Amino acid sequence: MKAISFDAKQSIAVIDVQAPGIPLAGQAKVKVHRVGICGTDTSAYLGKFPFFQFPRTPGHELGVEVIEIGEGVSNVKVGDRCSVEPYMNNPNSYSSKRGRPNCCDDLQVIGVHSNGGMCEEFILPAHKLHVGNGLKFEQLALVETLAIGCHAVNRAATEAGENVLVIGCGPIGLTVVEFLKIRGCRVIMMDMNQDRLDFAKNEMGVDATVQVQKDGSELQALSDLTDGNFCEAVIDATGNKFSMSRALEFVAFAGKLVYVGVTSDNVEFPHPLMHRREMTIMGSRNALAEDFTEIIELMKAGRIDTDAWITHRTTMDDLAADFPTFLDPASKVLKAMVHITP
C-alpha cells in the first residue's frame, strides 16, 4: 500500500516529453482539477493490478484545464476545460491504422502503464484532449468511466426495443445501463447482490432485475421476462470467469455477447450452444475518441445525470486517510472524486 504516493506536492507528471515542463509541438500542458478513482486504482493500491510497476503516479479519469500549448496545436486553446482520453497509442501500429487505437499493441494507459494525473500539472499529446467547455470538471472526469460503457454498447450495436441483459451491477455495468437507456433498450440487470439490484432498479431506472440463485433458476426467470426468447444482446461486466462462461445461456438466437469485464482465467462454454444460436461473441476494450465526443455532447444536452454518479469526495490532503474507506463495501462507493485544485 505504500507503493502509491498521494503527495500533493508532486507537481508534474510528463508523458512522452523531451523537455519536462515545456509542451513541444503537438502537445499541451494541463492543470488537473478533478481525478476519479476507479477499480484499477483500488486494485493497484492493494497490490493486485498486474500492469503496475512501482513507483507509479495513478490517475486516468481526469477533468483538466489547458494552461499552455505547443506549436501546431489547434484542437484546444488555453483556458479550455477538457476530459482526457488516457490511452496513448502508437499511431503507426496495425490496430491504430485500422481505426482501433484503443487496442493498440503498444498501448500505454496513463496512470497505469505510465505516470498519470494524480498531480497538479502534466503534459500530454493535445489530440488526447476533448473539449467540454460549460461542463464542470467533475463531469469531465467522469467521461472516461462512462466511455467504457458507451464503447461496449456501441460494440453491441443495440437497437431501441431490444431486450439487453447487463450482468454485474458494479460501476462499469451501471455505465453500460446509462447508454442502453439512451438508446431505448429494455434493460434487464443481473447480479448476486439484491441491494445492488435494488439500486439499479430504483436509482438507475432499469426495467427489470434478476438475482443469481444457487439453483440456477435465474435462467427461467430471464426466460419468463423475455417470452422465452432471452436477450438480443448480453453485456457481461463482471470479470468473473464463471459468469462469463455462463453468459451464453442468456443470449437469444442470432444475438450478441459482449465481454467488457476482464479475467485472467480461461472462459469455457459449450460450443453447440453458441453454434446453434449463431451468436456473435466479442470483447470491448477501453474506448474510442468518438465515444468521448458522444458523451460530452450528451452531458451538454442534459441527457446524462452526472450528480448521481459521484457518491464520495476528498482532497489531496485527505486522500491517504480516506482511500481505505473506498474499499469498504459498507461505504457504498459508486465514484469517489479527488479535488486537486479548486
* pLDDT tens string 55-84: 888 999 999 999 999 999 999 999 999 999
Q: Work out the average pLDDT over 216-243.
A: 97
Nearest alpha carbon to residue 144 among 80, 53, 82, 73: 82
* Pairing label, strands 27-37, 12-14: unpaired
Residue 44: predicted pLDDT:
81
Residue with cell 455505465: 175
Residue 266's alpha-carbon distances to 43, 122, 245, in angstroms, are 21, 38, 9
- DSSP state string for 93-157: SHHHHTT-GGG-TT-EEBTTTB--SSSSEEEEEGGGEEE-TTS-HHHHHHHHHHHHHHHHHHHHT
- Predicted confidence (pLDDT) at residue 287 exceeds the cutoff of 80: yes
**Between 76 and 331, the higher pLDDT residue:** 76
pLDDT tens readout for residues 167-187: 999 999 999 999 999 999 999
Q: How far apart are CA 108 and CA 78, in angstroms?
A: 26
**Every domain range in the chain assigned CATH 3.90.180.10:** 12-133+311-339
- Predicted confidence (pLDDT) at residue 102 exceeds the cutoff of 50: yes
**Between 48 and 99, the higher pLDDT residue:** 99
Q: Work out the average pLDDT over 120-127.
A: 94
User: Domain 12-133+311-339 is of which CATH architecture?
Assistant: Alpha-Beta Complex (3.90)
In this prediction, what percent of the chain has a pLDDT beyond 90? 81
**Every domain range in the chain assigned CATH 3.40.50.720:** 149-283
Please state, rounded to an integer, the average pLDDT across all residues of the chain. Answer: 91
Residue 4: predicted pLDDT:
29
Q: DSSP letter for 13, please.
A: E
Residue 20: predicted pLDDT:
54
Q: Give backbone dihedrals phi and psi of 151, rounded to 5 degrees, phi first.
A: -65, -40
Q: How far apart are CA 187 and CA 248, in angstroms?
A: 17
- Predicted confidence (pLDDT) at residue 152 exceeds the cutoff of 80: yes
Residue with cell 459508486: 334
CATH T-level fold of 149-283: Rossmann fold (3.40.50)
pTM for the model stands at 0.90
SS3 category, 67: strand
Q: Work out the average pLDDT over 106-117.
A: 90
Q: How far apart are CA 29 and CA 32, in angstroms?
A: 10
In this prediction, what percent of the chain has a pLDDT beyond 70? 94
pLDDT tens readout for residues 257-277: 999 998 889 999 999 999 999
